[in-house]
Chain A
């Protein structure tokens, strides 16, 4: 089985722009979670999607949003980028919400200049 894939792997954006990151879960997995990793704050939960609905959300401003499609692929969007949004964004997939397993993708490294 292919693992979790994330595109693009690297991205450079300018402050004020918006960005969309994509995550394709492991085949058959229906839950997708997103995390932000920064040197200062570590790994922080952004949100979780299941059956095309956001089920859980972390403490991030409304500039961070996401969605999930019927094939379980997920996208996250960050609008009005700030320098502090520079981070590694990791996506994790899980077979179901109650399986308590999370398999991570390679991440998208976003740099905001």
Chain B
């Protein structure tokens, strides 16, 4: 069975600090997708990024960057120069490709990020 672990339950930083959210996953499948979602207090899960298991290129989008390393089964997320609006719960998730796994995201427990002004 697959599993996603987010080691940090809560992180508190001051505005403009950089912060990295860790995500480690377990699966025996070779084809899979990894996601990061943001959940603000309103409750909706906001899609941030999706990577497939064959694409280990790191990605940067504005202040966000992601580091995918298959060798360590990690998919870490960094926010540079954090802002108060980044305060939310962040989820890492795994989706296996095909078969009986369609539509079935496995989520980590989430990391509560609080950015103080």
Do A and B interact? yes
Residues of A within 8 A of B (CB): 31-33, 35, 42-45, 48, 50, 55-56, 58, 88, 90, 92, 94, 97-98, 100-107, 109
Stretch at the interface among B12-20, B57-65, B76-84, B102-110: B102-110
Residues of B within 8 A of A (CB): 33, 35, 37, 42-47, 50, 52, 91, 93, 95, 97-98, 100-110
A100-B97, A101-B50 given as contacts; is B103 within 8 A of A31 (CB)? yes
19 additional contacts (CB under 8 A) given A100-B33, A100-B97, A102-B47: A35-B105, A42-B109, A43-B107, A45-B105, A50-B103, A55-B102, A56-B102, A56-B103, A56-B104, A90-B43, A90-B45, A92-B45, A92-B103, A98-B98, A100-B50, A101-B50, A105-B44, A106-B43, A107-B43
**Chain B CB within 10 Å — which of A35, A43, A45, A98 has the most?**
A43
A43-B91, A109-B43 given as contacts; is B37 within 8 A of A104 (CB)? yes
Asked whether A42 lies within 8 Å of B50 as measured between CB atoms, the reply is no
Taking chain A's interface residues, is the majority helix, strand, or loop, or is none over half, making it mixed? strand
